[in-house]
């Protein structure tokens, strides 16, 4: 459970970083956003 929580917390941080970058008018690549969003749906085996 804690492993899953840690993973989702890390992804939330990434999404917050993207949101902040967009809010500041910085360009964020669509590929990067897609990779972060895709990773939220995949279990991490590490």
pLDDT tens sequence across 20-33: 888 888 887 778 77
User: For a pLDDT cut of 90, what percent of the chain falls above it?
Assistant: 0
Predicted confidence at residue 6, as pLDDT, reads: 72
CA atoms of 18 and 27, how far apart (whole Å): 9
The reported pLDDT for the residue numbered 42 is 58
Q: What is the pTM of this model?
A: 0.46
pLDDT above 70 coverage of the chain, percent: 70
Structure tokens at 27: 């360009």
Angle ∠(24,16,25) on CA atoms, nearest 5: 15
Confidence band, pLDDT 50/70/90 cuts, at residue 43: low
């Amino acid at each position: 459970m804690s492993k899953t929580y840690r993973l989702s917390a890390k992804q939330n941080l990434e999404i917050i970083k993207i949101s902040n970058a967009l809010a500041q008018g910085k360009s964020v690549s669509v590929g990067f956003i897609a990779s972060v969003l895709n990773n939220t749906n995949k279990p991490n085996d590490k």
